[in-house]
Amino acid sequence: MKYDVNLELENRVEDYSFGDVAKQANGAVWLKSGDSVILATIVIDETEIVKDDFLPLTVQYIEKTYAAGKIPGGFFKRETKPSDFETLTSRIVDRSLRPLFPKGFGHPTQITIMVFSADADADLQVLALNAASAALYISDIDINSSVSAVRAAKVDGELVLNPTLSQLKSSTLDLYLSGTKDDLLMIEMRSLASDEIQMQESLMIDPMIDPVMSMPSVSIHSSNALAEDELITIFEKTGELLFATNSKYEDSFANYKKETLAIDYKANMINEEMIAYLKESHLQEIVDATNQMAKSERSTALRQLRKKIIALKEEWCEAELKDAIEKVKKEQVRSQILNDRIRADGRALTEIRPISIDTNILPKAHSSCLFTRGQTQALVVLTMGGAKDAQMFENLTDSSTQNENFMVHYNFPGFSVGEASPILGTKRRELGHGNLAKRALEPIVDLDGQTVRLVSEILESNGSSSMATVCGGYMALKAADIQTNDIVAGIAMGMVSDGDNYAILSDIMGLEDHDGDMDFKVTGSKDGITAMQMDIKLGGISLDILKEALYQAKEGRSHIIDIMMDAEKKIEFNDGVLPSTDFFHIDPGMIGEVIGQAGKVIREIIEKFEVAIDIDKKDGKVKVTGKNKTGVSGAREHIENIVNAPKVEKIKYKVGDIYDGTVKKIVDFGAFIGLPDGTDGLLHISKVSDHRVERVSDVLSEGENIKVEILEFKGNKISLGRA
């Protein structure tokens, strides 16, 4: 393969080939970086134009296991549905490139990105966007801006741009920035847990698995939320590289750009006569309908107005009238915000809708929270499990199977927005929102070997149900008595701009998301940010506006956290069904006593109290997990009684010595006798009497005191006779 362009970038080299493969596509690029090879293609349907106000763009990022020298695991040896990583990468590319398409572009467009070879240390999400953007830029579609991505990490306190995956694993920041040479278009950010404390050399006892086994190392995390000032500085440095890289791309790719294709664009379907009539005769009715809080109420009011006008203007086309009403409504919403600084529902620009929080409303769930903010409502339900309940997965660049022990699953049924639609499989949007909520909450949770699944059922939606999921998710964690190292909430910010003036909106509702210019979701504590996601419809945003939005988001987030803190004080736990965990320490020298010979003592504790026990041999840390607090506290008390029992000095037994013993357990072949220092010896059935017996129980009973003689030693076992 010959390469037309060789680019030396920050921490990476990219080689591009144009026109050698996939020549039937409108644009195709073969990208090689290190040992990674990616093909990106763009194809448009020139014969069809979608009439709706919607860009029919589909992005598919596809990985094949052969790219990493693997065969698919499981029963089927052919790749089937996309993995979560493939779906999320497709969304990232879509959100970055969608703003580039010119107004009126209505041709169905397919962007396909295929990974043919995967370097284990390569950032495939960055390469995927760069390849797709290059294919779009050199295609015959009238797009003249390059979009690229830069990822930023923070390793050992130092900013690293375009880190390798190895560097990212030890980073406290994962920031994915995409944009043109002039503007930022999209942000994905999460803080990562740091200060990992490894629990090595531990023993885990679980009634569902082998009685004694080595436990994998467990990381205990501390929150690493980033302060707004620090994040802005990182944005500035990352943005500089992003803008310079796009300039380099455009200069390098210009000679390979195809001649622009002559295609039809969607005509301006708005009937100006209708617009003038609506503004003159029905503006107040549109304003009143717009100020309806719920989407269903607003839609009903506008539909009734449309029917009323059609009854008077029978010659008018109802579809055209619908578009005209929509345009007047949008103008009115934006004008009211920009000029009057008042929103459609009467709120001030920074005002948060009323919030109510109800915890543990589901008696049989481990914990639950019904979080309601305005007309957005999320029921978040938490279930706790053990290490064996973790979700197994393997990405293309992973060397082995990974375990996900913190899961957030987000569901968005049609009834939440008044739509009569069936509930089918998980959609891309649902997967993306669940992933955002997970990234927001994960840095503050210390699971210590547990598995937690949060499921968010959106019962009503009028703006930012993903942020309701974050808030409800935090409250569900606290309602399950799970330890967190901070309080995290989420807020969705919006913006309206006419080019000269702009207004930033806190806690946007669905109308403002639809008719506004920005959707900016920010999660974090009062001190910093754990995750964020930003999409721009304008074609870019300045760092000054971004900074203002971040600080306004902090104010709103703090307001929500105060409400959550009050609700946290009122939590009543589902003690009857809530699994309980207790941590305490014992003298490491007493661990052998707690475990007993061949694990006998600890198995008895597990069976009696129905718990799982994890003991760290190094520092004596004990973790007891059970189905309820009663069993856990009982197990702890039992272990502490063993540890705190008066110590009996070990006796140096000799053959021929005679001692008083106690019959502890009778078995078919004899009886186990407890000697004075707690050591057990075996009195064989042939030694229990001076004559032959058929059953030991005919001669001895458990708890009986007898005299025994030390006969011999067999390794660590003592053989006894009747004295």
Query: Do 325 and 418 share a structural domain?
Result: no
pLDDT digits (tens, 9 = 90+) for 52-67: 678 899 999 999 999 9
Q: Which residues contact 25 (CB under 8 A, 6 or more apart)?
A: 41, 42, 43, 135, 139
Q: Which of 79, 89, 140, 78 is nearest to 112 (CA)?
A: 89
CA distance 341 to 351: 11
Nearest to 139 by CA among 13, 22, 55: 22
Helix (H) or strand (E) holding 632: helix 629-644
Question: What is the per-residue pLDDT for 417?
Answer: 85
Q: What angle do CA 685, 688, 690 make, to 5 degrees?
A: 115
Q: How many angstroms separate the CA atoms of 594 and 603, rounded?
A: 10
Residue 235's pLDDT is: 92
* The pLDDT value given to residue 204: 42
> Is 370 exposed, middle or buried (CB count within 10 Å of its CB: 0-12, 13-18, 19+)?
buried
CA atoms of 298 and 345, how far apart (whole Å): 11
The percent of residues in the chain predicted with pLDDT above 70, rounded, is 93
Structure tokens that stand for 468 in this block:
């309701």
The answer as to whether 262 is a domain residue is no
User: What amino acid is encoded at 289 in this protein?
Assistant: A
Of the residues 619, 644, 669, the one at which a domain ends: 644
Same domain, 682 and 605: no
Query: What average pLDDT does the segment 204-228 reach?
Result: 46
Q: Say if residue 196's pLDDT is above 50.
A: no
Q: Tell me if 90 sits within 8 A of 130, measured CB to CB.
A: no
Predicted pLDDT of residue 323: 85
Q: Work out whether strand 219-222 and strand 376-385 pair parallel, antiparallel, or are unpaired.
A: unpaired
CA distance 461 to 438: 19
Can you tell me the mean pLDDT for 683-710? 89
Q: Hey, is 545 helix, strand or coil?
A: helix
pLDDT, residue 234, reads 93
Among 255, 237, 236, 250, smallest CA distance to 100 is for: 250
- What is the rounded average pLDDT of the residues 210-226? 43
- Both 23 and 101 in one domain: the answer is yes
What mean pLDDT is predicted for residues 594-615?
Answer: 87
Residues 387 and 534 in one domain: yes
Residues 169 and 137 in one domain: yes
CB contact at 8 A, 451 and 387: yes
Tell me if 336 sits within 8 A of 505, measured CB to CB: no
pLDDT higher than threshold 70 for residue 211 = no
Q: Is the pLDDT of residue 209 over 60?
A: no
| 530 has a pLDDT exceeding 90 | yes
Q: Do 308 and 328 meet the contact criterion of CB atoms below 8 Å apart? A: no
pLDDT given for residue 570 in this prediction: 95
Q: Please state the rounded mean pLDDT for residues 639-657.
A: 80
Q: How confident is the model at residue 369 (pLDDT cuts 50, 70, 90)?
A: very high
Nearest by Cα to 24 from 43, 8, 39, 51 = 43
Structural domain of 325: 272-340
Question: Where does a domain end: 531, 548, 568?
Answer: 568
Distance of CA 48 to the CA centre of its chain: 38
Instruction: Note the pLDDT of residue 223.
Output: 53
Is the pLDDT at 206 greater than 60? The verdict is no
Distances (CA, A) of 12 to 34, 128, 136, 390: 8, 14, 22, 35
Residue 593 pLDDT greater than 60, yes or no: yes
Output the average pLDDT for the chain. Answer: 88
Q: What is the mean pLDDT of residues 346-355?
A: 94
Residue 268 confidence (pLDDT) above 80: no
DSSP letter string, 53-105: SS--EEEEEEE-GGGGT----SS--S--SPPHHHHHHHHHHHHHHGGGSPTT-
Same domain, 514 and 373: yes
Q: Is residue 651 part of a domain?
A: no
Residues 530 and 391 placed together within one structural domain of the fold: yes
Query: Rounded to whole angstroms, how far apart are CA atoms 250 and 60?
Result: 24
Q: How confident is the model at residue 125 (pLDDT cuts 50, 70, 90)?
A: very high
Mean of pLDDT values over 604-616 = 89
Query: pLDDT-based confidence at 563, cuts 50/70/90?
Result: very high
Three-class secondary structure of residue 703 per DSSP: coil
Same domain, 409 and 526: yes
Top-confidence residue, 537 or 247: 247
Same domain, yes or no, for 548 and 636? no
Is residue 199 predicted with pLDDT exceeding 60? no
Q: For residues 44 and 192, state if they share a domain.
A: yes
Q: What is the pLDDT of residue 202?
A: 38
Instruction: Please give the pLDDT value at position 194.
Output: 52
Cβ contact 670:664 at 8 Å: no
User: What strands lie across the sheet with 367-373, from one edge to the other?
Assistant: 355-359, 367-373, 376-385, 451-460, 406-411
Residues 434-467 have pLDDT tens digits of 999 999 999 999 887 789 999 999 999 998 899 9
CATH number, domain containing residue 67? 3.30.230.70
State what percent of residues in the chain have pLDDT above 90. 51
| 632 and 668 both lie in a single domain | no
On whether both 131 and 83 belong to a single domain, the answer is yes
Q: How many domains does the structure of the chain reveal?
A: 5
pLDDT at 146 over 70: yes
Q: Quick one: pLDDT at residue 218?
A: 33
Which carries the bigger pLDDT value, residue 40 or residue 266?
40
Backbone angles phi, psi at 239, to 5 degrees: -60, -40
| Mean pLDDT confidence for 185-205 | 60
Q: Is residue 204 part of a domain?
A: no
User: In this structure, is residue 210 part of a structural domain?
Assistant: no
Q: What is the pLDDT of residue 85?
A: 94
Q: Is 41 domain-assigned?
A: yes
Average pLDDT of the segment spanning 260-272: 77
The model's pLDDT over 674-691, given as tens digits with 9 standing for 90+, comes to 888 778 889 998 888 888
Q: Is 326 helix (H, G, I), strand (E, B) or coil?
A: helix
How high is the pLDDT of residue 217? Answer: 31
Backbone angles phi, psi at 30, to 5 degrees: -110, 115
Which has more pLDDT, 223 or 706? Answer: 706
Q: What is the CATH number of the domain that holds 586?
A: 3.30.1370.10
In one-letter notation, the amino acid at residue 378 is A
In a domain, residue 88? The reply is yes
203 pLDDT tier (thresholds 50, 70, 90): very low
**Structural domain includes residue 461:** yes
Instruction: Identify the band that residue 300 occupies on the pLDDT scale cut at 50, 70 and 90.
Output: confident
Residue 422 lies in a domain: yes
